[in-house]
Amino acid sequence: MADQRDITALPDLARGAGRVGPTRTRMPVYTDFLPPCNNACPAGENIQEYLRLVKEGQPRQAWLELVKNNPFPAIHGRVCYHPCENFCNRGFLDEAISIHGVERHLGDLALAEGWQFEQPETATGFRVLVVGAGPAGLAAAYHLARLGHTVEVRDGAPEPGGMMRYGIPEYRLPREVLDAEIDRVRRLGVVFTQNAVVKDLVADQAEGRFDAVFVAIGAGLSKRVDIPSMDASRLVDAVSFLKDVASGARPMVGRRVAVYGGGNTAMDAARVARRLGAEESIVIYRRTEAQMPAHEEEREEAKREGVDMRWLRTIQEVDSDGVKVEIMALDENGRAVGTGRYETLEADTVILAVGQEADSNFLRRIPGLRFENDVVIVDRVTLMTDVPGIFAGGDAVPSDRTVTVGVGHGKRAARMIDTWLYSRQPAPKAKHPLATYDMLHLWYFGDHDRRTQKELEVDERTGFQEIVRGLAPDEAVYEATRCLSCGNCIECDGCLGACPEGAVIKLGKGFRYRYDYEKCTGCASCYEQCPVHAIEMISEH
């Protein structure tokens, strides 16, 4: 854009009191800041830009902008915990924008219209092996294919998707949505080899003549916990339980189910148990509600569906009478400690959801790799291990274990693999400064309530049909219009109208403005009214 300048390299800002002196000491410049939603997105989406395109009535262009960074908007619009909304400046004014609702709308529209990814223009000749068909592996395969590389994904499960398929229940993520978005990646030429458990990575790499490898194994193993039990058949691990149900099984769980754990997997297991006929589904967690690792939305939905939460409880044993739990209390340091008091809870099935870990044993045969418990140590910037050409991401490395983090890792790994294949040095791109709420001038924006996605009533949630219905097209557009465009010009003409000297020159739609500094006196009228803080006053010298 005209007159855009790198404000990180500019002199100190001159915002002193007073407007115009005999000699101009400060001058306005048009700038771009980083929106907090973009900054908070683990997948690196340009949220502000695709919201703008939706607002402008260009949904296909909005989808193309979105999938530059994240190939799975219909999936993410359903399962992402949308940290972007937690940092949305609109939340200080009224309510955060339903970013995930707009994303889902674009994803569903693309599926309905049959929109496909643009094919790569050239083939590089490089071959890359991706181990694991979960979020990180699929995202890496997508970005690598878009770069022109030949990609094969090898995965031990019958179908691709990882924990998106075998961990997230269908009432949150319908399988037809998952399959359709994965199929787009397949149409880029990515080869999927299922039921292929990699045991010797070095040998497989050599045999397949792969120039690089991305390890994206998920945390598909339940952590073990020793609980004395007279009947081990009543104990089930949550990962296996959810996988069986996702594969079409409908196990008998009895009338009463106890789920031991406090994470998102525990919430899913408890809600699935209700759908399988359990009259009572109880979550047993050794700490307090505030200390639960489960996302607040997952916890609240479980409670709405009748799941009973028993905080400050830990299982001691499972016997014929039920589940014996010890009542806990918090010590002076906030840690849960036993009290020596016990109670018995009735349960026909006990589902253990005390954590998950990656099945990384096959990697330990490779000389030079370093590990931290079950995960591989990688360079934080490049995601490459200590072995050149072997990269890792998602649940296979130290990180938050969410779909969105995995997709972000896949994108970064693809770009770093591409850089490494061409023997280039990584060149991290400097970010613009963050546009905070206090920088905005909100005279321009009125109060507009957020549109919420319709859901099935609780008494209708008897099976595995999808709960959330999504935004209607007009609601998605409405939500996009609520965007404050933090830190980036919206061409509102406010600066044009505020300038008393006629120093602001409009360049036409999409080209913003420029200043005639021969006329500008540095009065800051333009700066003081700019609703989105796309103007800075800088020192003249």
* pLDDT at 335 (0 to 100): 92
- 131 φ/ψ angles, rounded to the nearest 5 degrees: -105, 110
Using CA atoms, how far residue 374 sits from 126, 220, 261, 264, 357, in Å, is: 30, 11, 20, 20, 6
pLDDT at 16 over 50: no
Neighbours of 104 (CB within 10 A): 26
pLDDT at 296 over 60: yes
Task: Please state which of the ranges 86-90, 194-198, 392-396, 523-527 shows the lowest mean pLDDT.
Answer: 392-396
Q: Using alpha carbons only, what angle is made at residue 171 by residues 165 and 175, rounded to the nearest 5 degrees?
A: 40
**Position 219 confidence tier, pLDDT thresholds 50, 70, 90:** confident
The DSSP H or E segment spanning 505 is strand 504-506
Q: Using alpha carbons only, what angle is made at residue 523 by residues 519 and 527, rounded to the nearest 5 degrees?
A: 105
Q: Quick check: 227 and 252 in contact, CB under 8 A?
A: no
pLDDT at 116 over 90: yes
Highest mean pLDDT among 176-190, 216-230, 428-442: 176-190
**Position 15 confidence tier, pLDDT thresholds 50, 70, 90:** very low
pLDDT in tens, 349-405: 999 999 888 888 899 999 999 999 888 999 999 999 999 999 999 988 888 889 999
- 301 φ/ψ angles, rounded to the nearest 5 degrees: -65, -40
Q: Residue 408 carries which side chain, given as an amino acid letter?
A: G
3-class secondary structure, 238: helix
pLDDT at 119 over 70: yes
The beta strands (E) that lie in 293-410 are given as 308-310, 313-319, 322-330, 336-345, 349-352, 356-357, 371-372, 375-376, 390-392
pTM recorded for the entire structure: 0.91
How much is the mean pLDDT over the chain?
92
Q: Residue 57 carries which side chain, given as an amino acid letter?
A: G
Query: What are the structure tokens assigned to 316, written together?
Result: 């001691």
C-alpha closest to that of 417 among 153, 134, 151, 65:
151
HSE, CB side, 13 Å, CA atoms: give it for residue 150.
9
The set of residues, in sequence order, having a beta carbon less than 8 Å from that of 329 and lying 6+ positions away, is 312, 336, 337, 339
Neighbours of 183 (CB within 10 A): 12
Residue bearing tokens 């008897």: 462
The strand pair at 375-376 and 371-372 is best described as antiparallel
pLDDT at 10 over 60: no
pLDDT at 320 over 90: no
pLDDT at 423 over 70: yes
Neighbours of 154 (CB within 10 A): 21
**In order of start, what are the domains of the chain with their CATH numbers?**
7-32+489-539 (3.30.70.20), 37-115+447-481 (1.10.1060.10), 127-220+358-411 (3.50.50.60), 223-354 (3.50.50.60)
Using CA atoms, how far residue 23 sits from 525, 536, 541, in Å, is: 17, 19, 12
The set of residues, in sequence order, having a beta carbon less than 8 Å from that of 481 and lying 6+ positions away, is 55, 448
23-57 core/surface letters (b: 16 or more CB in 10 A; e: else): eeebbbbbbbbbbbbbbbbbbbbbbbbbbbbbbee
Question: In the chain, what percentage of residues exceed pLDDT 70?
Answer: 96
β-pair partners for 337: 329
* pLDDT at 278 (0 to 100): 95
d(CA 276, CA 278): 6
Using CA atoms, how far residue 466 sits from 275, 384, 431, in Å, is: 13, 38, 38
C-alpha closest to that of 104 among 462, 534, 454, 518:
454
Residue bearing tokens 């489960």: 294
**Interval 143-154 mean pLDDT:** 98
